[in-house]
Structure 1
Amino acid sequence: MINRRLVLAGLAGLASGSTLPRFAQAQMAAATGMINAVEFGLQPGSPDDQTAKFNALLTKASAAGEQIFLPPGTYIASGLQFPAYVNLAGMSGKSRIVFGGRNGLISANGADHVQLSGLLIDGDDRWLSESVRGLVELSNVGYLVLDDCQIIGARKNAVDLFKCGGRIERTRISGATDAAIFAADSTGLRITQNEISDCGNGGILVQRYEQGRDSTIIVGNRVEKIRADAGGTGQNGNAINVFRADNVIVSNNVINDSAFTAIRGNSASNLQITGNNCTASGETAIYSEFAFEGAVIANNLVDGASNGISMVNFDSGGRMGTCSGNVVRNLSTRGPYPGTFGIGIAVEADISVTGNVIESAPLYGIQLGWGTYMRNVIATGNIVRASGEGIYVSVVKGAGSAIISDNIIQDAKNGGIVGHSWADITVKDLTRKGASDYPNLILERNVVS
């Protein structure tokens, strides 16, 4: 019979900072029906590389369909090859797997089920081999569970996934030189309630190598301090980046201090970006750009960025969406490269801009179109305060239709609603002259003061 009091006593001792006694390790593993890794030869705290013993244990447990308990301590390993079934659990913050420096640390290809919980996975800032993409590199895994883990010190990506389904949740990732999570061609992935910080080139990256349905859910994460060490004009430095992946949800994330974008959707159709809190973005805070069709950007807060929200690139097929209920404020004309900055919300084709509040956009509060790249846009019921121009609208020959109605524009230093030919001002104030010269425009019931 399991002596649960002994197990609890061991856990209490661990909580106070002492090492879990060996008898308590065995009791705990037995009580939960796990294999105790120590009983099969692994030695916590050993200075030796324990890869061979670890791989043998993984193979044995996989064949029996059993879970492994990794007692508190440090285990040095390189090249752990996960078999078809892996269920490896540790004591949160105490069971530490450290990369020994040869090739990579953890990999799997074609596994049915991989579950890691309560582990501290430490890359020790050691270089990975050229062929290795991430500290934890998994391909074609039917169902992945990464829960309540911590991953630190990864060269390249901390977690690199290809054609994987499952969930990554309640996990802390910091110090990756590339991205915290890179997920390509996913098969039903959920990324929720993670804490990501101090990464060199990206936070959460979801992409497909060919455009298609992806359906990844990215909800409730905290992402901060994302740099762009590899440079560029937006391919790096994004807290959350969705590329060529359709039907993705990005919701209720808290994002701070990204070198470029808090949330960037590039060629991502049917993308929903809702309820996110985005502060201190170095470029455009929220993007839906290039060849997208169908995007919903709603109820987000943007405070501090070069541009607020952009739904653009009609020239590349970017069209169709709604931009509603967002708060955008404290923008800057300074950006990470030469460009046009200081715009609250910019849209181009088949998009409704409704019920947004924009304050302190030094160039334009709302930009409707760019030259001939404007079709079927609506700006209604918005509040624009303390901007350069309140609303920019394209009036060049060949521009499509726009309805601008029921907006309140206050303290627009360079005009309330201004007609543009590309960057040049054509009509200083359309509310005074009227829009009769431009049959593609309808302006009604706007208040400019």
Structure 2
Amino acid sequence: MDKMPAESEQALEEQFPRKLLSRRNVLKTIGSVGVVAAMGSLLAERGFVEANAKTVTEQVYGEGSGNDCTNQIHLTDWINVKNCGAGEGIVDDSPVLNDIIAEQAGKPAATLYFPAGIYKMSSNVEFPERFTLLFDQGAVLSPDNGVNVTISGLIDAGVFHIFNGSGTILLNKKLPVLYPQWWGAQGDAETDDKNAIQAAIDAASLLRTIVYFPPGTYLFSGVITIREYVCLVGENAVLKASNGCISTGLFINNASHITIRSLTVDMNKVNTTNLGNINEQEAIKILANTTDVKNIRICDVTIKNSHQSGIHIVGKGDTNPEVHLVQSIYKTIDTVIERAAIESCKFGILATHSQRITLQDSRITQCAVSGVLLLYCSEYTIARNVCNANIGHGITVDVAHTGSISENLCSDNEDGTELAYGIVVSRYCKYFTVDGNVCRNNGNGGISIDVTLLGDIAVESFGTVTSNVCTGSKMYHGIYINHAHDIVVSSNNCYDNKQYGIMVDSGKNALVTGNVCNYNATGINMNTTAEAERVAISNNTCSKNSNSGIRIYQAAELQIHNNQCLGNGQYGIYLSTISDSSISGNSCMNNGFSVGSYANMMMTSGTNRNNIQGNTFRSETNQALYGLRISSGSTNNLITGNDCFQGGTSKGIFSEEISTSYGSGNRNNDGTFSTLPN
């Protein structure tokens, strides 16, 4: 053992007062590399790498610093193992180390100090919990193949290599943080650090602690498997696939309680071969196929350049999804992805068979198929993300139930034929909210709600689409609703879209209310091949559209109430093949042009048994010919209490159908009241 002779101690004590330092005070004196990080936290100091590159000898004894021996601190609780004959790297140090351990049996805690050197071990060594192992830079434990070195106490080492050899290092003491550098990682963008990173993760899983990546670029040549109860944390650290690597990057394989934070994962697709398999070459993969996977958090990460998904979450479905729908045999539960930046992948995020998945405050851009796709997922939250310039939809949920998509910006998503929406909710999605999103300049349209199950069978959806802004759709619509039952579309602003502001197709029990649809081809359109029923279109503003404000074809049991349709190019309201409906309280003013025989409101053949009551039709010079026009074949409609004063440049009400009934209170084009059209 390294213990000063008694006569030397006496001589020095006569010259200097003796100081007996506890280990805590010693470490305070030398600037220990102890880390105050808790799970999920970053290190308190950014300059720790440079500070801890010094050796213990330099800091305590002053070697190379100009200090002389009179400044030595007398340490009574350290054992310098090199002074006991270990650390030459040639002979087996196991006997020396085991002798030290045996000699200290029953004594108080001690620090085993390892100066620079290779500590070769050819037989097992177990350091009990009462020992703290303190390493100089250059001190490396190197067990031979088949040899176990068990460390049950604390480790005090800087960010440098301390474990080597083909044997096994077993850590049994909870340490606040582990470094890949302890196992030999370089982070120099040249060395393959895969094995060192994997060793650090394996050790951290047993200790349920942090693997911390200091600044650098860490190459990996194969998959890195993340074990349970591990937190990966980085600081300006990049994990990068080496040239030619064709594996997944970080793989969470049926493991739970994992955090990945503040790392960049670069899959380097320019210098790797695309295998074309959606289940390979992902930057981060989470797999649940033998058990449920729970509590995964991915925060403050950057992911880029993957041939496949940036993040791929995979559960195991049952064998009959068409019947059971979102049921799964195994699934990921409580996955949180927040403040992620994902770019230049095939899918930004692809998740199947997940429950309670949260994606928020992230940016997904320039992905080749889709920004976000959730399939067979339930209880999802997608909030405050930016999905921009993807070649495909920005956000898609498919065969999913009970979730919200809110306050996202989805813009400029389109493929080569512009076939992409900002947000898509499709196939048997139920209990959803699409709220407060901005969908701008997408290829197909802003928002698509198409919940058809199979064979054009509509399902009860119980959804709300509210307070969204949908503008600049290049091919079609601001909001598209297809085969949706029990849905509310309210308070949306849909303008400057190529075709319709809002399109409702084959809906039942739908409420379209309080929306503003201006400067589209048509403001609100219902154009179905199968009858829509029990749809209310009320309190909307549809103005300055190039064709019609509201256009409805083939529907029954409608309520079209209290809408404002102003200054549209052809018709304010256009009705075709509408039956058993109430059209009341609407203001249709200054629509159409006289040269086109347009009207503020038009009823075409097949529009039967409707009550047209209490509407206002107005036209100024060179506007519609008619306030209300009823074509032949529109039978048994009741027209009552409408204000058609100056309704058209020709007539207030013009009917070509003899079965039309006129109640009292219609105000004619010239301002008179009668029960006959004028």
TM superposition score normalised by structure 2:
0.53
Q: Which runs of 5+ in 2 are unaligned?
A: 1-27, 29-33, 37-41, 54-156, 160-174, 279-307, 315-330, 453-460, 527-531, 593-597, 608-624, 649-678
> CA shift at 1:258, angstroms?
0.5
> What one-letter code is carried by the residue in structure 2 that aligns with 1:400?
S
The structure 2 residue matched to 1:254, chosen from 438, 454, 473, is 438
Residue 377 (str. 1) matches residue 558 (str. 2): yes
Contact 1:116-1:146 at 8 Å conserved across structures: no
1:398-417 paired onto structure 2 within 5 Å: 399-413=578-592, 414-417=598-601
Task: Answer whether contact 1:157 1:177 (CA < 8 A) is retained.
Answer: yes
Q: 8 Å contact 1:161–1:184 — kept in the other structure?
A: yes
- Corresponding residue number in structure 1 for 2:169: none
- 1:287 partnered with 2:480: yes
2:602·2:629 contact (CA, 8 Å) conserved in 1? no
Secondary structure, in 3 states, of the residue corresponding to 2:378? coil
Equivalent residue number for residue 336 of structure 1: none
Structure 2 CA distance for aligned equivalents of residues 446 and 120 of structure 1:
66
More contact order relative to length (CA 8 Å, sep ≥ 6): 1
SS of 1:216's equivalent in the other structure is strand
| Structure 2 partner of 1:98 | 240
How has the CA–CA distance of structure 1 residues 214 and 431 changed in structure 2, closer, same or farther, with 3 Å as cutoff? same
- The equivalent residue for 1:193 is 384
Tell me if the contact between 2:599 and 2:628 (Cα under 8 Å) persists in the aligned partners: no
Aligned-pair CA distance for 1:97: 3.2
Pair 1:137 & 2:293 matched: no
1:175-214 counterparts in 2 under 5 A?
A: 175-208=366-399, 214=401
CA distance in 2, matches of 1:435, 1:117: 69
Residue correspondence of structure 1 range 33-432 to structure 2 within 5 A = 33-77=176-220, 78-91=222-235, 94-100=236-242, 101-108=245-252, 110-126=254-270, 128-132=274-278, 133-139=308-314, 140-154=331-345, 156-164=346-354, 165-208=356-399, 214-229=401-416, 231=417, 236-244=419-427, 245-267=429-451, 269-282=461-474, 283-289=476-482, 291-306=483-498, 307-312=500-505, 314=506, 318-331=507-520, 342-347=521-526, 348-368=532-552, 370=553, 373-387=554-568, 388-395=570-577, 399-413=578-592, 414-421=598-605, 431=628
- Paired residue total: 401
**Change beyond 3 A, Cα 1:125–1:198:** farther
CA distance, structure 1, for counterparts of residue 640 and residue 632 of structure 2: 7
- 8 Å contact from structure 2 (residues 395, 423) kept in 1: yes
Write the letter of the residue equivalent to 2:515: N
Displacement after TM superposition at 1:98 (Å): 3.3
Q: Does the 8 Å CA contact 1:323/1:352 hold for their aligned counterparts? A: yes
Aligned partner of 1:412: which letter? N
Report the Cα distance in structure 1 between the residues aligned to 2:379 and 2:361, rounded to whole angstroms: 18
Aligned counterparts of 1:422 and 1:97: Cα–Cα separation in 2: 66
| SS in structure 2 at match of 1:264 | strand
Instruction: Give, in angstroms, the shift of residue 345 of structure 1.
Output: 0.8
Amino acid at match of 2:445: T
CA positional deviation for 1:394: 1.8
In the alignment, the residues of structure 1 paired with residue 638 and residue 259 of structure 2 have an alpha-carbon distance, to the nearest angstrom, of 57
CA 1:169–1:401: 2 relative to 1, 3 Å: same
Change (3 A) 1:256 1:88: farther
Post-superposition CA distance 1:377-435 (Å, at most 9, x none): 1121111122121111124xxx4322211111222112111113489xxxx85736699
Q: Distance in 2 between matches of 1:286 and 1:88?
A: 41
CA RMSD of aligned residues (A): 3.4
State the distance in 2 between where 1:364 and 1:59 align. 65
Q: Does the 8 A contact of 2:603 with 2:630 survive in 1?
A: no
SS in structure 2 at match of 1:202: coil
SS in 1 for 2:246: coil
User: What is aligned with 1:334?
Assistant: none
Structure number with larger C-alpha Rg: 2
Question: Structure 1 pair 122/433, CA: closer, same or farther in 2 (3 Å)?
Answer: same
- Residue 23 of structure 1 and its aligned partner are, at CA, apart by 5.1
Classify 1:161/1:385 alpha carbon distance in 2 versus 1 (closer, same or farther; 3 Å): same
TM score, norm. by length of structure 1: 0.78
What's the offset of the Cα at 1:104? Answer: 3.3
Secondary structure of the corresponding residue to residue 361 of structure 1 = coil
Q: Distance in 2 between matches of 1:241 and 1:161?
A: 15
Distance 1:157 1:217 in 2: 20
Which letter maps to 1:346?
N
Displacement of 1:21: 4.0
AA aligned to 1:98 is K
Distance between the aligned counterparts of 1:102 and 1:223, measured in 2?
A: 31
Conservation of the 8 A alpha-carbon contact between 1:402 and 1:440: no
Asked if the contact 2:440–2:472 (Cα under 8 Å) also holds between the matched residues in 1, the reply is yes
Matched with 2:9 is: none
| Percent of residue pairs identical | 19
Structure 1 CA distance for aligned equivalents of residues 606 and 51 of structure 2: 75
Relative distance call for 1:253 and 1:43 in structure 2 (3 A) is farther
Q: By percentage of residues, which structure has more strand?
A: 1
Q: Determine the C-alpha separation between the residues in 1 that align with 2:180 and 2:488.
A: 48
Partners of 1:200 and 1:300 in 2: CA distance = 25
The one-letter code matched in structure 1 to 2:212 is F
Q: CA deviation at 1:8?
A: 5.3
Distance 1:23 1:128 in 2: 43
- Alignment CA distance shift 1:214-1:418 (3 Å): same
Seen in structure 2, the aligned counterparts of structure 1 residues 166 and 264 have a Cα distance that, compared at 3 Å, is same
d(CA) in 1 for partners of 2:640 and 2:256? Answer: 59
3-state SS of 1:226 partner: coil
Inter-partner Cα distance in structure 2 for 1:176 and 1:24 = 41
- Any idea what the Cα deviations from partners look like across 1:231-274, whole Å, max 9, x if unmatched? 48xxx411111111211211111222101121111116222211
Shift of 1:326: 1.3
Task: Indicate if the aligned counterparts of 1:105 and 1:136 stay in contact, CA closer than 8 A.
Answer: no
Could you tell me how far apart the structure 2 residues matched to 1:439 and 1:121 are? 69
Deviation of the 1:157 alpha carbon: 0.4
Q: Contact between 1:284 and 1:310, CA under 8 Å: does it hold in 2?
A: yes
Name the aligned partner's letter for residue 322 of structure 1. Answer: L
SS of structure 1 residue aligned to 2:368:
coil
Q: Is the 2:603–2:634 Cα contact (8 Å) retained in structure 1?
A: no
Amino acid corresponding to residue 411 of structure 2 in structure 1: E
In 1: Cα distance, 2:438 partner to 2:484 partner: 24
Post-superposition offset of 1:203? 0.9
